[in-house]
Structure 1
Amino acid sequence: MDVRSDTALRLPASDVSPWVGLIGLATLLSYILFARSFPEISAALGFENDLGRLSGPYSALLAMVLTGGAMAAWSVCVEKVHRNPSTGIDWDRRRPVADVLNDSITKLAGLWATWFIIAGLYCLGRWYWDGAYLFAMQVMGAAVVPLVLLSVPYVIWIDRVMDDPRDQSWHFGAMLIGRENFDVELVKKHWRAWIIKGFFSAFMISILPSGFAAVVDSDVTEIVRDPVRLGVLLFELLFVIDVQIGTVGYLLTFRPLDAHIRSGNPFLAGWLAALVCYPPLAWGVLGNILQYEVNTADWAYWLADYPALLWLWAGWLVFLTAIYAWATVAFGIRFSNLTYRGVLTNGPYRFTRHPAYVAKNLFWWGSVLPFLVTNGSMVDMIRNTAFLALVSGIYYWRARTEEAHLLLEDEKYREYWDWMQENGAITSRIARLLDRMNPRKGMSGAVQPAE
């Protein structure tokens, strides 16, 4: 008989409240409505408006700032996350500045050196200075001086109340200035966290403007009766939600918000599986080597003669995109790739451990239909289908490496993993299917433990 403890069969409480993401979503949608209605609002208030709808890149950036600010304010003022033990902060014990100043200077040395090195890497990467990435570089360049100035009072303030001010940044600073007792493993953790922030923050900021402009400038009255155009608009809106809240997650990694990066994925396979899905590697791998859209059309082309099926298919694809966006919203201010920032057990994560990956891959299969090609070539049909299957395989690889990281880090995640194996609406069924296929399964029906 397969015996599991009672703890393993209980769903652990989520480290992230669903309300955080919902507050962010409400704020974002409210600003989108404001940006769309800005000409009418200006006219009603008697102001001249030469801007039209507020669909520009800085309006998209403002939407992200307001969304993040609302989620942070809710987290602190309502949920009191700054009091969570996992922050590593004791607000009732404030050390004198003189007692922490040396540690703070060491930490600032580590932070500033880290930012300088990341800036140098941006300069070396030519793709950062062209196309959509140029906006990200402009934003980050404008933020440099305020960040450096504000980091001084912030670091001193937070060091006064931290249980142990000598965190990962301190250890990197200590290594640079030759202080004793720095820990190489903590230096590695520091760099894993900051490489993740540097790489993905630039990418996320770069893709903020395009989708936001498409949503704000769209004419809903002209497309509401067209399932294809309406579906595309809803895709855009849901992707905007994903990108806006996801960007907040990469930027608000502060301890008082309990959103700090506790660890970056330590496995090389995890990094390879994740980075191959994003520029610049994705341009060569997913965009070239595994190109699965050669001589394809899309769902709208193949279903054009079947209006009822066209509406049904559009609804299915919108549903998948909504699941994908919901998976990001559920994280609130803690979304990011390759990191451990607490355990999420609510929302779509009660059905599968990887709702975003499941939804994204089903969307690609349903929208591209790679097994149908316009030139009738069997070779292209096989090639496209095989390549999209390989892309889905990469996401399975990503999922497994992320699980390995979280299983290593947190007992709560191990409890969540066990609960999902037994009770997750999607995960448990897949687990039972794999159990039946497992050659190590014993006569009693239990899976034999690995040595």
Structure 2
Amino acid sequence: MNARPSPPPSDVSAGVGLAGLVGLVLWVLACRHWPAIADALALSGPHEVMNGPLAALMALLFSGAGMVGWSLLVDKVHLRPTTGIDWSSPRPVRDVVDISMTKIAGLWATWAILGFAYCVARWYWRGQYVFAMEVLEAVAPLLFLGAVPYVLWLDRVLVNPRDASWHFGAMLIGREPWDAAEVRRHWLAWLVKGFFCAFMISILPGGFAAVVTADWAAVLHDPVALGTLLIEAMFLVDVQIAMVGYLVTMKPLDAQIRTANPHLAAWVAALICYPPFVLMGDGGVLDYHYNGAEWSYWLQGHEVLLWLWAGALVFLTGIYAWATVAFGLRFSNLTYRGVLTNGPYAFTRHPAYLAKNTYWWLASLPFLVTSGSAVDAIRNTVLLALVSAVYYWRARTEEKHLLAEDAKYREYHAWMAQHGLLTSALRRITTALAPRRPVAQPAE
């Protein structure tokens, strides 16, 4: 029996995400046991569990430091040609200062426009988004000032310092020719960061506080409570690692956004899955929970089934978190930042979407409703099927983008169709079910 061939090499090693996961776990444990740590070290200040929003933000530093350290010290990503950097011959500052000032003008204008959009969009000043706005308001001065030395330093070693940000700055200043395609590329990338950074920051504190303050010993014998807490922990890992990915889109880390998805369908498919455009939320067009109940309601009283169901849901959430951890520093929606072929991506091209949607079907059991109405059951089932169809649509639009960008992804896509344990099996099924076209006979 022939061995299964290996997929194309991944642009991200498994060690990056694992280093971030270790840093995150260490910080969570430190926050949980801070009273004992503070007592042992005779530290001043409150000796309480650290479960606040600032502690959740500090977790980004611990997980991010591990991933950045591994990337630079072990993988040496800063030496890759894909960074667009030549460290061997830095230019004098005087040779790049005009280019850098143009680029800084473009970046400052971009951030000012995004800030104005945050101010105008009312949903950013309600609920969990208020925390995100407070964080962005606090870091904005550091971002604006820090851009000056960073851009001057980086432009000295960039092979082509006139990048997309420079083209937007040149358009604003009007002294040099600029490329409209590069300006569009600049704005697509920053629209991704502007939209998703605000959302990700807004959901950081909740999951962090729940995991840090949980009484784990009290839930060990309760399948519902334990399963719920473990699922919360998996989502904490996902959110923390993903947030670091959005923050460090830097060329020295080879984690830059090379291109954002240029297809309108991709943006529509992605945005309807997130607030304020989300269609799957309570009362939304695709809300599949009407007169429904969660798995624990329908399986109550069946202890074995509850344990099995909880285990399956935790497993699926673990796959979902693993898919994010595998990205390391490069997680981001709607972008191309290299090709990932290891971890769960060695089994299927879209493990996160597959795990998430399977989780929703098992958790909600949409064909069961508390009203006893067949109409409600059919409606909920159809709507969840449409939600899954949206994620299939997202997957196809992402593949369209990546297939056009990178020969390595085209190689991975073809390899997965032949050898991916899940993808190849689904391909064989769909091929078998597809109607066979008659073979044309040559004319006599």
Which TM class, normalised by the smaller chain length? over 0.9
Show the counterpart of 2:134: 138
Match of 2:266 in 1: 270
The 1-side partners of 2:437 and 2:349 are apart by: 24
Distance 2:438 2:412 in 1: 25
| 1:229 correspondence with 2:225 | yes
Q: Which residue, out of 113, 129, 138, partners 2:109? A: 113
Q: Specify the code of the residue in structure 2 equivalent to 1:205.
A: I
Corresponding residue number in structure 2 for 1:422: 418
Equivalent residue for 2:253, pick from 250, 257, 262: 257
Instruction: State how far apart, in whole Å, the 2-side matches of 1:114 and 1:334 are.
Output: 22
Rounded Cα–Cα distance in structure 2 between residues aligned with 1:143 and 1:280: 24
Change (3 A) 1:284 1:330: closer
- 8 Å contact from structure 1 (residues 39, 49) kept in 2: no
Equivalent runs, 1:298-377 vs 2, <5 Å: 298-377=294-373
Could you give the per-residue CA deviations for residues 228-287 of structure 1, whole angstroms, max 9, x where no partner exists?
000000010000000000000101000000000000000000000000000000167775
1:79 aligned to 2:78?
Answer: no
Distance 1:383 1:403 in 2: 30
**1:159 aligns to 2:155 (yes or no):** yes
| Cα contact 1:277–1:286 (8 A) shared by 2 | no
Unaligned regions of 5+ residues in structure 2, if any? none
Q: Which of 95, 99, 104 lines up with 1:99 in the alignment?
A: 95
| Runs of 5+ unmatched residues, structure 1 | 1-8, 445-451
- Provide the rounded CA distance (Å) in 2 between the counterparts of 1:21 and 1:441: 46
Look up the match of 1:448: none
Give 2:357's aligned amino acid.
N
Per the alignment, in what secondary structure is the counterpart of residue 141 of structure 1? Answer: helix
Q: Deviation of residue 23 (structure 1)?
A: 0.2
Q: How far off its partner does 1:432 sit?
A: 1.5
Aligned residues: 436
CA distance in 2, matches of 1:262, 1:381: 44
Distance verdict in 2 for CA 1:377–1:15, change over 3 Å: same
Tell me whether 1:437 sits opposite 2:422 in the alignment: no
TM-aligned CA distance change 1:442 to 1:407, over 3 Å: farther
Please, what TM-score do these two structures have when normalized by structure 2?
0.96
Q: 1:94-150: CA deviations, max 9, x gaps?
A: 111111111111101110000000001000111111111111111111111111111
Query: Could you report, residue by residue, the CA deviation over 1:327-364 in whole angstroms, capped at 9, with x for unpaired residues?
Result: 00000010000000000000000110000000000000
Amino acid at match of 2:299: L
Comparing 155-164 with 283-292, greater Cα deviation is found at 283-292
Shift of 1:39: 1.1
Match of residue 41, structure 1, among 31, 37, 40: 37
In the alignment, which residue of structure 2 is the partner of 1:449? none
The whole-number CA distance in structure 2 between the counterparts of 1:191 and 1:214 is 36
Alpha-carbon distance in structure 1 between the residues aligned to 2:214 and 2:278: 29
Aligned-pair CA distance for 1:50: 3.0
Amino acid at match of 1:364: W
Higher mean displacement: 408-417 or 143-152: 143-152
Moved more, 102-111 or 275-284: 275-284
Matching residue of 1:396: 392
Percent of aligned pairs with the same amino acid: 59
Asked if structure 1 preserves the Cα contact closer than 8 Å seen for 2:22 and 2:66, the reply is no
Deviation at 1:93, TM superposition (A): 1.3
Does 2:253 align with 1:279? no
Match of 1:178 among 174, 181, 192: 174
Q: Which residue number corresponds to residue 168 of structure 1?
A: 164
**1:44 partner letter:** A
Amino acid at match of 1:293: H
Over 3 Å counting, the alpha-carbon distance change for 1:10 and 1:182 in structure 2 is: farther
> Equivalents in 2 of 1:152, 1:188: separation in Å?
23
Counterpart of 1:288 in 2: which secondary structure? coil
How far the C-alpha of 1:439 sits from its partner, in A, is 3.9
Residue number in structure 2 paired with 1:206: 202
**Against the structure 1 CA distance between its residues 181 and 235, is the aligned structure 2 distance closer, same or farther, given a 3 Å change threshold?**
same
Tell me, what secondary structure is at the counterpart of 1:296? coil
Moved more, 35-44 or 422-431: 35-44
What SS is found at the alignment partner of 2:97?
helix
Matches of 1:376 and 1:290, distance apart in 2: 20
Cα distance in 2 for residues equivalent to 1:179 and 1:160: 21
Look up the match of 1:63: 59
- Partner in structure 1 of residue 146 of structure 2: 150
Give the counterpart of 2:193 among 197, 201, 204: 197
The one of 398, 402, 406 aligned to 1:410: 406
Partner of 1:129: 125
Q: What's the CA shift for 1:44?
A: 2.3
SS of the equivalent of 1:389 reads helix
| Rounded Cα–Cα distance in structure 1 between residues aligned with 2:176 and 2:282 | 46
The code of the aligned residue for 1:438 comes to A
Alignment partners' CA distance in 2, 1:16 and 1:339: 15
Specify the code of the residue in structure 1 equivalent to 2:286: L
- Distance between the aligned counterparts of 1:381 and 1:317, measured in 2? 22
Report the AA paired with residue 56 of structure 1: G
SS, match of residue 156 in structure 2: helix
Partners of 2:40 and 2:6 in 1: CA distance: 55
State the alpha-carbon separation in 2 of the partners of residues 163 and 440 from structure 1: 52
SS for the counterpart of 2:284 is helix
3-state SS of 1:282 partner: coil
What is the aligned partner in structure 2 of residue 447 from structure 1? none
**1:429-448 alpha-carbon deviations (Å, 9 max, x no partner):** 1112222233465769xxxx
* Partner Cα separation in structure 2 for residue 10 and residue 435 of structure 1: 24
Q: Which amino acid aligns with 2:207?
A: G
Amino acid at match of 1:348: P
Q: What is the Cα-based RMSD across aligned positions, in Å?
A: 1.5
